[in-house]
Amino acid sequence: MIEHLAPEIVNGIVLGAFYAIIAIGLSLIMNLTGTINLAHGSFMTLAGYLAFTLMSRGSNFWFALAASAICTAIIGLVVERLLISPLYKRVPLYSLLLTFGLSLVFEEVFRLIWGPSTVPFSAPPELSGATQIGDVFLPTYRLFIMVALVVVMVALLVFLYRTRLGLRLRGAVQDAEMLAALGTNTQLLYMTNFGLGILLAAIAGVLAAGLLGLGPTMGNDLLMPAFITVVIGGMGSLAGSIVGGLLVGLAISITTLYLPAASEVIMYVLMAVVLLIRPRGLFGEEGIFG
Amino acid sequence: MSDARLLEVERINTYYGKSHILHDVSLHVEQGEIVTLLGLNGAGKTTTLRSILGLTPPRTGTVKLNGRELRGLAPHAVARLGVGYVPEGRRMFKNLSVLENLQLAERGTVGDGWTIGRVYDRFPKLKELAGRKSGRLSGGEQEMLAIGRALVGNPKLILVDEPSQGLAPIIVIELYKTLEELRRQGASILLVEQNALLALKVSQRAYVIDDGHIVHTGAADELAHDQPRIRGLMGLREDEDIPA
């Protein structure tokens, strides 16, 4: 029993960690500027392809991970300044439409450059194979992803709660205009915040590419569960994103084991149940958009 | 430059969308003065402060701080040039602690400027509450924090909007003592109030704004002794009380 269940639980946690990281990036961007970034998945895919291209030219995995994440974040900053920031003063529908359009454009560009089917993206040799823990063999790459995503989350928490810039971000979420009146350049803050969300997406994108396979829709496929994670966890809550992500990931993987036909629908059921009991999500605050 | 007034607002016109709110508003504040801007709800008091700060930029006119044009600058640039803000309703970052609220506003200065430590010395209560979320403070404590938050930015001029709003009378009196004390230590304050009589007591000069127009300018103590005049200027009938 346990030898069947354990790998699925690890699977669920790994998937959940991806959802959590993506959800945190979405939340950061949504909380500060009201932008619902439907292009978030595209940035993940972009980072995966950039890493793939670097590796196919001889770079090792680690350099490709770092370089593609940084490049993707920079592209994110440019997109934010040129396209998204002019819409901050308008209702969120405008940026929603814009980022939806962007995701379509990105997807077609991926097809043009890297082709319509998945490209071979393999985990580095030092992370392939399996690791034995007790009686159970678990894929080393999955274990690595778990550790890596935890490290990223801890780094993010340290940034938000232990640095001046993090403090400004937390203040701006509550009252950006007041923060500006106290001398903070909020436009710069919006930009930094967007870049940070994209950096998280990019790291997750490269890691996911080695696990899920890299195709033009890889990131977008992860985006819907990530949005559900945000809703389940509660808008604006980092803890909510982490718990929500793990719940969604575990629910999907365990359902895959026992009732494969329901694995696609289980996250919607979970969301409906959570919202019936607690409309603002597990950790959400009331009236975050109020 | 040195003989320029601390704040000189000249004939500003400010709009919310298409509605014309401020009509040729002019006023000034000298170094070391408390100047009160009186008026009823909706007369344009807050809009005047928002215009100075660049939060709602005026379409025409000039706003100068020590001779330097502020109109057209972003709010953070205005703040950095030395305009502090104690907003109406206090606008705490309510999920952040007292200390974090101060840290967000702190801007170093050379010499003996305001630091978080000095604010704690002046308002010992804030030091006691340093770790508490500011949303959980009482109204009076929040007002102190809002003032402390403006002070740690080491402004040349502080804009104070309706500080007495929602506070118990005894707290209001303490608050006004604080403003007066800050002035004696060299602060310059532009105060917006509905609580006319109290505001006039601590002020040197006063303006009255009605429907977006400045309708009176003069010494505060003259106006304070002329209650029928205050009623008239503020558009109140004989039998209406002056808001206090």
pLDDT in tens, A39-91: 999 999 999 999 999 999 999 999 999 999 999 999 999 999 999 999 998 99
B135 domain residue, yes or no: no
- Among A32, A173, A178, A184, the residue to mutate for chain B (most B Cβ within 10 A): A178
B140 domain residue, yes or no: no
Looking at CA atoms only, how far is residue B105 from chain A in angstroms? 5
Q: Report the chain A residue with the minimal C-alpha distance to residue B84.
A: A182
CATH number assigned to the domain comprising residue B34: 3.40.50.300
pLDDT digits (tens, 9 = 90+) for A181-223: 999 999 999 999 999 999 999 999 999 999 999 999 999 999 9
B52 domain residue, yes or no: yes
Strand A130-133 relative to strand B189-193, pairing = unpaired
pLDDT digits (tens, 9 = 90+) for B10-52: 999 999 999 999 999 999 999 999 999 998 888 999 999 999 9
B117 domain residue, yes or no: no
For residue B2, what are the domain limits?
A: 1-82+197-236
Strand B83-86 relative to strand B157-161, pairing = parallel
Could you please report the per-residue DSSP string of B170-203? HHHHHHHHHHHHHHHTT--EEEEES-HHHHHHH-
CA–CA gap between residue A175 and residue A31 (Å, rounded): 11
B35 domain residue, yes or no: yes
- Which three-class secondary structure state does DSSP give residue B38? strand
Run of H or E including A249: helix A238-258
Return the axis-axis angle of helices A40-56 and A92-114, rounded to nearest 10°.
20
B105 domain residue, yes or no: no
Looking at CA atoms only, how far is residue B232 from chain A in angstroms? 34
* Among the listed residues B128, B109, B123, the one whose alpha carbon sits nearest the alpha carbon of residue B181: B123
Q: Which tokens go with A144?
A: 């690595």
Indicate the number of domains in chain B. Answer: 1
pLDDT digits (tens, 9 = 90+) for A96-155: 999 999 999 999 999 999 999 999 998 888 898 888 888 788 899 999 999 999 999 999
CA–CA gap between residue B185 and residue B194 (Å, rounded): 25
What structural domains does chain A harbor?
2-277 (1.10.3470)
B29 domain residue, yes or no: yes
pLDDT digits (tens, 9 = 90+) for B103-144: 999 987 767 789 999 999 999 999 999 999 999 999 999 999
CA–CA gap between residue A130 and residue A137 (Å, rounded): 6
> Per CB distance under 8 Å, which residues of B are interface residues toward A?
53, 55, 74-76, 79-80, 85, 87, 91, 93-96, 100, 103-105, 107, 149, 153
The answer to whether B104 contacts A174, with C-beta atoms less than 8 Å apart, is no
Q: Report the chain A residue with the minimal C-alpha distance to residue B102.
A: A182
Q: Which tokens go with A232?
A: 């389940």
B14 domain residue, yes or no: yes
The answer to whether residues A164 and B105 touch, using CB atoms and an 8 Å cutoff, is no
ipTM of the complex as predicted:
0.93
Looking at CA atoms only, how far is residue B218 from chain A in angstroms? 29
* % of chain A with per-residue pLDDT over 90: 84
